[in-house]
């Protein structure tokens, strides 16, 4: 990665130079590195009506009955990404500047599919995105996905723009139908609404939520986070009222940034997503080890690009309880062994 090839676009409101901040990312251009380590997944059984991509690791799929007898439920993965292509050419420059380059998103999704494949489990992947033939990640789709009862281990990835709502303390997400104005205001999904849906009592399975957005906060109000300082990782309390019991379901939120920070994206993908996907589930690391490696790799990547310290992003990992097992992804049921892998029946697909 040549530093000379790294360039910031000029800022919108600062003619004197410097980085251009969008509501999701700092946009920059970098040469695209080899992605040999992250091969494309040739997914079978895609159903266009639901965009259900079944990522098959090649093992024999067992029946629903056999799966229910093992007591292990097949993980489900959802990706909700927005690049806002319909904003291109809009008369409002701020809206035009919301557009995220398709190549950047394509790289992120290729890495995510490979990462999901490495869970060593037959998992179902539903992708909602801007591409033709896929369902868009609009407000209705987002609410529908988050409402799905999670009886099994679930992974949800959300990427796009965050912005402040009516007040600075109110954070909202811009869905695909952002330009469908209601009462003169853009259509948004409030993060408080997301929390309400994700924390419903009907959910019983472990949840891993990843948010590749700016300004991300602990909107799930989880009581713990992993603090990285001077090369060490330790559990700290977030200050939120602890409404989660120590034996509660595992809920883990990987946020691309600390509160108030902006996420960075290059022409070859988002910084956080790229480093997240490099830490493969089959490496069998603890959550603390993952947190340490994630911070160090993001710092290293931004150092190579000459990003100033005060403009760097610092990912946060929030948890419903302390998770100190030796293999995090196995601990939350996303990474299961071939002996215990199972499949949910087709009747479970109707609400996706």
Residue 131: inside a domain, yes or no?
Answer: yes
Residue 7: inside a domain, yes or no?
Answer: no
The two beta strands, 207-212 and 154-159, are parallel
Residue 120: inside a domain, yes or no?
Answer: yes
- Domain count within the chain: 1
Report the C-alpha gap between 203 and 223 in whole angstroms. Answer: 18
Residue 345: inside a domain, yes or no?
Answer: no
Report the C-alpha gap between 23 and 216 in whole angstroms. Answer: 11
DSSP line for 218-249:
-TT--SEEEEEETTEEEEEE-SS---S-TTSP
Residue 30: inside a domain, yes or no?
Answer: yes
C-alpha pair distances (Å), 26 with each of 10, 29, 188, 256: 11, 10, 21, 13
C-alpha count within 13 angstroms, C-beta hemisphere, residue 309: 0
Residue 104: inside a domain, yes or no?
Answer: yes
Domain housing 109:
23-340
Query: The pTM is what?
Result: 0.78
198 within 8 A of 218, measured Cβ to Cβ: no
Residue 16: inside a domain, yes or no?
Answer: no
161 within 8 A of 213, measured Cβ to Cβ: yes
Among residues 262, 307, 283, 315, the alpha carbon closest in space to that of 37 is found at 283
Residue 245: inside a domain, yes or no?
Answer: yes
The two beta strands, 207-212 and 171-174, are unpaired
Report the C-alpha gap between 109 and 157 in whole angstroms. Answer: 10
What is the pLDDT tens value at each position of the chain, 352 positions in all? 333 222 223 233 333 333 333 344 433 333 333 433 333 322 333 333 344 445 433 333 333 333 444 456 788 999 999 999 999 999 999 999 999 999 999 999 999 999 998 886 578 899 999 989 999 999 999 999 999 877 899 999 999 999 987 776 789 999 999 999 777 789 999 999 999 999 988 888 999 999 999 999 999 999 999 999 999 999 999 999 777 877 788 999 999 999 988 898 877 899 999 999 999 998 899 999 999 999 999 999 888 888 777 778 899 999 999 999 999 999 999 986 544 333 333 333 334 5
The CATH number given to whatever domain includes residue 68 is: 3.40.50.12660
Dihedral sign from CA coordinates of 163, 278, 147, 43? positive
Instruction: Give helix then strand counts, H and E, for the chain.
Output: 8, 17
Q: Which residue has the tokens 């965050």?
A: 162
């Amino acid at each position: 990665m040549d530093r000379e090839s790294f360039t910031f676009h000029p800022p919108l409101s600062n003619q004197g130079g410097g980085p251009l901040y969008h509501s999701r990312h700092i946009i920059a251009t970098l040469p695209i590195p080899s992605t040999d380590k992250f091969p494309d997944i040739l997914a079978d059984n895609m159903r266009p009506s639901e965009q259900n991509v079944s990522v098959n690791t090649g093992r024999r799929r067992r029946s629903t009955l056999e799966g229910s007898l093992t007591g292990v439920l097949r993980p489900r993965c959802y990706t909700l990404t927005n690049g806002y292509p319909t904003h291109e050419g809009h008369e409002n420059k701020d809206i035009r500047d919301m557009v995220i380059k398709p190549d950047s998103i394509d790289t992120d999704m290729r890495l995510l599919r490979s990462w999901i494949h490495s869970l060593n489990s037959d998992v179902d992947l539903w992708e909602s995105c801007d591409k033709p033939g896929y369902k868009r990640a609009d407000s209705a789709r987002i609410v529908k996905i988050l409402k799905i009862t999670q009886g099994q281990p679930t992974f949800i990835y959300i990427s796009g723009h965050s912005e402040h709502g009516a007040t600075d303390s109110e954070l909202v997400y811009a869905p695909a139908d952002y330009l469908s104005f209601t009462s003169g205001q853009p259509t948004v999904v409030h993060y408080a609404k997301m929390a309400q849906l994700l924390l419903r009592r009907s959910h019983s399975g472990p949840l891993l939520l990843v948010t590749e957005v700016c300004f991300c906060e602990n909107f799930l109000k989880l009581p713990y986070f992993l603090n990285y300082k001077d090369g060490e990782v330790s559990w700290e309390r977030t200050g939120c009222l602890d409404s989660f019991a120590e034996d509660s379901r595992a809920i883990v939120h990987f946020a691309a940034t600390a509160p108030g920070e902006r996420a960075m994206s290059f022409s070859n993908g988002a910084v956080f997503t790229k480093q997240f996907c490099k830490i493969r589930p089959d490496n069998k690391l603890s959550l603390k080890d993952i947190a340490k490696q994630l911070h160090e790799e993001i710092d290293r990547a931004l150092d190579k690009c000459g990003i100033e310290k005060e403009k760097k992003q610092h990912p946060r990992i929030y948890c419903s309880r302390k998770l100190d097992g030796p293999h995090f992804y196995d601990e939350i049921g996303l990474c299961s062994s071939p002996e215990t892998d199972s499949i949910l029946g087709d009747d479970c697909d109707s609400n996706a």
